[in-house]
Amino acid sequence: MILVFVETGATGATEVSLECATFARALADRTDGPVHAVVVGGERPDVLVGELGRYGVAAVHHVTGDAFSAYGGGAWATAVGTVREAIDADYVLAPGTPRGMEVLAHLGARLDVPMAANVVAVTDSGANETGPLVVTRQVLGGAVLEEMNMSERPVLLTVAGHAVEARHAADPAPPAALRELTAEVADIDLVARVTATEPVEADRSGALTSSPVVVGAGRGAGGPDGFDGVVELAELLDAALGVSRVVTSLGWRPHHEQIGQTGSRISPELYIPCGISGAIQHWAGCASSKTILAINTDENAPMVTKATYAVIGDMAEVVPAINAEIRRRRS
């Protein structure tokens, strides 16, 4: 039995959750188990049930209660753990997002089993249900792949963004069954909770980890007023905007836009870092980008030497020129 922690957004399951369900289906084919999903908090997920059914999910467990009205890693881990125990799941999967990581890390600590983060493939599913599961996972932001033997049960793993393409099941299953339940949460698990959020709609950063195109900006932007060009480029390409740590440390842009070891890890089809040197800590967060187009004044900058393509020049001139050309061609 496989359980998938599904995150939801305004339009249903997030793309990375659907990728995770697709990954779970492939694992189910090798381990002979049905795929169930757990959704925590929110309204009754009727639409989601139909959607997840198309991805091969047999049942959706919806955990509700006051403790789940706001996100808290400890409380949500209790919800996922309660469902896991109820259905006796041998595998628990979550998207490789900050929440997916946090929830499974809590669960792993409680169950005293390891968790494999940022898994991209199941290399060997073992001779039987009790044999070790061998997974391949990204480390150092995708710069290195390592194999990990998971010999204990339950197996806990997060699936790296874009490790697989979200796909409907070949034989559409009937809509998933919906099971409503609640879970007892200890007071200690309610200590750290999200009690207020700032709207981030205007800055396009919510899609940083899932957007197929990301525009990045670093110190080369020159100051807090130097981002107009990259913001416009992101809008023209329907891309997310990400930045280096220098930019967030100087307060030029908010921290949630940071890419890197201490920020978000991205793996878009196209990453366009502008005025970013490509320090190892930044590279750790963008190394698995499929194509990189660097814009930088220094032809020897690490980002330029590692990029697929590079434009050597001042981003204050190059980026507006690209924007003007995109607008010209579209008109």
Ligand X SMILES: Cc1cc2nc3c(=O)[nH]c(=O)nc-3n(C[C@H](O)[C@H](O)[C@H](O)COP(=O)(O)OP(=O)(O)OC[C@H]3O[C@@H](n4cnc5c(N)ncnc54)[C@H](O)[C@@H]3O)c2cc1C
Between CA 173 and CA 274 the distance in angstroms is 46
Among 58-66, 192-200, 218-226, 323-331, which window interacts with ligand X (CB under 6 A)? Answer: 218-226
CA 278 to chain centre: 21
- Please answer whether residues 270 and 286 qualify as being in contact, where contact means their C-beta atoms are separated by less than 8 angstroms: no
CB of 251 to ligand X, least distance (A): 14
CA atoms within 13 Å, Cβ hemisphere of 144: 6
Question: Which two tokens mark 227?
Answer: 């981002």
Q: Which of 118, 244, 267, 289 binds ligand X (CB under 6 A)?
A: 244
Rounded to whole angstroms, the Cα distance separating 105 from 75 reads 12
Q: Segment near ligand X (CB under 6 A), from 87-95, 104-112, 122-130, 269-277?
A: 269-277
Round to whole Å and give the CA distance between 21 and 167.
9
Distance separating alpha carbons of residues 132 and 124, to the nearest angstrom? 8
DSSP state of 226: T
Query: Cβ distance 258 to 243 under 8 Å?
Result: yes
Interface with ligand X (CB under 6 A), residue total 28
Per-residue mark of binding to ligand X, 302-321 (x: CB under 6 A) = ------------xxx-----
| Residue of 258, 267, 288, 289 interacting with ligand X (CB under 6 A) | 258
Among 81, 96, 220, 268, binds ligand X (CB under 6 A): 220
Residue 142 CB, shortest distance to ligand X, in Å, is 14
Query: C-beta of 301: minimal distance to ligand X in Å?
Result: 4
Tokens standing for 226?
């130097």
Is residue 245 part of the contact set for ligand X (CB under 6 A)? yes
Q: Which of residues 283-302 bind ligand X (CB under 6 A)?
A: 285, 295-298, 301
Residue at 91: amino acid letter:
Y
Counting contacts by CB under 6 A, is residue 263 touching ligand X? yes
Closest approach, Cβ 294 to ligand X, in A, equals: 9
Contacting residues toward ligand X, per CB under 6 A: 218-220, 244-247, 258-263, 275-277, 279, 281-282, 285, 295-298, 301, 314-316
